[in-house]
Amino acid sequence: MDYQILEKLDRIEQSISSDHQERWINIKGVSSYSSLSIPRIRRAVAKGELKVSRNAGKLLFKKAWVDKWLNS
């Protein structure tokens, strides 16, 4: 009985911790998430409105950055 409770608690803890990890999405993901066109997103990046990471030649965005830009 105690083992089952501990097992369930472990699963809950893993679920909570995975929700708090930073999510990285590419420009297509941002377009899909925000319902905005890719050129509109590229303009926001060029103007400095939307924060971006250019890792390995790709535009990568944290979901939190996109949310902040959409809410501003």
Please give the helix or strand (H or E) that residue 70 lies within, else none: helix 63-71
pTM for the model: 0.68
pLDDT tens-digit profile of 14-51?
A: 766 655 566 789 999 999 999 999 999 999 999 999 99
Domain boundaries, the chain: 2-71
CATH topology of domain 2-71: Multidrug-efflux Transporter Regulator; Chain: A; Domain 2 (1.10.1660)
User: Coil, helix or strand for 59?
Assistant: strand
Count of Cβ atoms closer than 10 Å to residue 51 Cβ: 14
